[in-house]
């Protein structure tokens, strides 16, 4: 009835290929890991063959590393290559004094401290892999501390899109205008609307990362007699070995998903696909599309609120600017904290291996909406 819905993603095995011209990870190439390894080895040895143990170490590490790690190191290597080329030097090794000067230069340019820390960590990792002298000395460590102390900018974080918004009592209060409930109700009943409503609702319920939500398959959804469902996630950012996890989907999400699946006549394969007849490589929406969908739908909804005088125009602009695909995961985390869920249960449910990030998200809860505020109101 609907279409052969397909996707335009060109990553291979989760890792984009290296461009032979820039050394950056790109979206073409038959063997991305091989190109990536060659780029690393060329940066230090040029046309010469590396020692056998070094080559074996690079192969083993790159095969085990997460795709995001490879992308980050490729990006940092390009920065160092440009700096070294300006000094007429090979890319690697980079001396501690040169890395110190590069770090200082980037700090003066206003580069965030987290990006600078990552650059240094990438270089330390590459030098260790290639059996080169460490590029990090005490002077550089002190410089990094100086940069962290001077850079007082708050760490960027997506604005959480909470189910009921910033309400005082998450259990009893009606939804605020800026809320996931309000957004879902505003989305039209056309094919794209049915798909997008199901996608956003599922992303919130399970705190899904964008890489997880676009890879949901029909056969991963196990419906329960209650009208809810169990969703199987075969792999995630913190599950590189593919052990899988099961997460919960609400009756709201199951109803939205069924409406979309019924219209699209999908009985197997990826749930969230482009509205296109073109045949793509992966068959699902690209990860970047999730943010575009959320921002577009949210902007349209907030414009309605502005027109009725419920919110100010500058508020709408700020909310859209601060929103990304991760806002669904942040909002889920914040709602769980506001509802009094234990940190351990939140970590398990949202598939975190460290308490650092969920606690960081919770710190951005509006004070009046926190569990502590709810308890203090009862005391007072």
pLDDT at 14: 34
Give the containing element (helix H, strand E) for 166: none
Distance CA 230, CA 247 (A): 6
Residue 11 pLDDT grade (very low, low, confident, very high; cuts 50, 70, 90): very low
Q: Is 172 exposed, middle or buried (0-12, 13-18, 19+ CB in 10 A)?
A: exposed
- Per-residue model confidence (pLDDT) at position 280: 52
Angle of helix 191-205 relative to helix 251-264, nearest 10 degrees, comes to 150
In angstroms, the CA 319 to CA 161 distance is 10
pLDDT in tens, 309-323: 999 999 999 999 999
What pLDDT does residue 33 have?
A: 83
Q: How confident is the model at residue 371 (pLDDT cuts 50, 70, 90)?
A: confident
Q: How confident is the model at residue 372 (pLDDT cuts 50, 70, 90)?
A: confident
The model's pTM: 0.70
What domains appear along the chain, each with residue ranges and CATH number? 32-150 (1.10.150.130), 180-379 (1.10.443.10)
What's the CA angle centered on 239, arms 25 and 180, to 5 degrees? 90
Cα→Cα distances 62→43, 65, 117, 211, Å: 15, 5, 21, 20
CA distance 186 to 306: 14
H/E segment holding residue 227: none
* Residue 5 or residue 341, greater confidence: 341
Burial of 35: CB neighbours in 10 Å, binned 0-12, 13-18, 19+: buried
Q: Give the position of tokens 């502590």.
A: 372
pLDDT > 90? residue 31: no
For the chain, the distance separating the N- and C-terminal CA atoms, rounded to the nearest angstrom, is 60
**Euclidean distance between CA atoms 90 and 122, whole angstroms:** 17
Q: What pLDDT does residue 9 have?
A: 31
Tokens 């409406």 found at: 259
Q: Strand runs (DSSP E) across the chain, as ranges? A: 221-223, 229-233, 245-249
Percent of the chain with pLDDT over 70: 86
């Amino acid at each position: 009835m609907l279409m052969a819905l397909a996707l335009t993603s060109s990553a291979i095995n989760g890792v984009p290929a290296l461009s032979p011209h820039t050394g950056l990870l790109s979206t073409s190439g038959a063997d991305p890991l091989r190109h990536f390894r060659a780029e690393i080895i060329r940066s230090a040895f040029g046309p010469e063959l590396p020692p056998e143990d070094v080559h074996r170490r690079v192969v083993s590490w790159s095969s085990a590393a997460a795709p995001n790690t490879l992308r980050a190191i490729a990006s940092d290597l390009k920065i160092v290559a440009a700096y070294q080329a300006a000094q007429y030097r090979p890319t690697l090794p980079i001396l501690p004094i040169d890395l110190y000067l590069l770090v200082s230069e980037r700090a003066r340019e206003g580069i965030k401290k987290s990006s600078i820390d990552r650059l240094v960590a990438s270089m330390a990792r590459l030098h260790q892999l290639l059996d080169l002298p460490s590029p990090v000395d005490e002077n550089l460590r002190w410089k990094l501390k100086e940069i962290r102390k001077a850079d007082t900018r708050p760490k960027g974080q997506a604005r959480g899109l909470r189910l009921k918004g910033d309400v005082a009592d998450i259990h009893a209060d009606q939804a605020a205008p800026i809320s996931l409930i309000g957004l879902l109700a505003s989305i039209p009943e056309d094919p794209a609307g049915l798909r997008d409503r199901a996608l956003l609702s599922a992303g919130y319920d399970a705190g899904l990362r964008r890489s997880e939500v676009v890879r949901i398959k029909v056969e991963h959804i196990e419906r329960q007699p209650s009208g809810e469902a169990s969703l199987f996630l075969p792999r995630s950012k913190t599950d590189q070995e593919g052990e899988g996890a099961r997460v919960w989907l609400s009756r709201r999400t199951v109803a939205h998903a069924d409406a979309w699946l019924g219209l699209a006549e999908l009985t197997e394969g990826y749930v969230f696909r482009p509205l296109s007849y073109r045949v793509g490589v992966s068959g699902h929406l690209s990860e970047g599309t999730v943010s575009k969908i959320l921002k577009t739908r949210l902007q349209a909804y907030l414009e309605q609120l502005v027109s009725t005088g419920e919110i100010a125009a500058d508020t709408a602009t700020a909310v859209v600017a601060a929103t990304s695909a991760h806002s669904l995961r942040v909002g889920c985390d914040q709602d769980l904290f506001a509802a009094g869920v234990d940190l351990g249960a939140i970590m398990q449910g949202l598939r975190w291996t460290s308490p650092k990030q969920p606690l960081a998200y919770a710190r951005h809860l509006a004070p009046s909406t926190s569990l502590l505020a709810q308890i203090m109101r009862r005391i007072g």
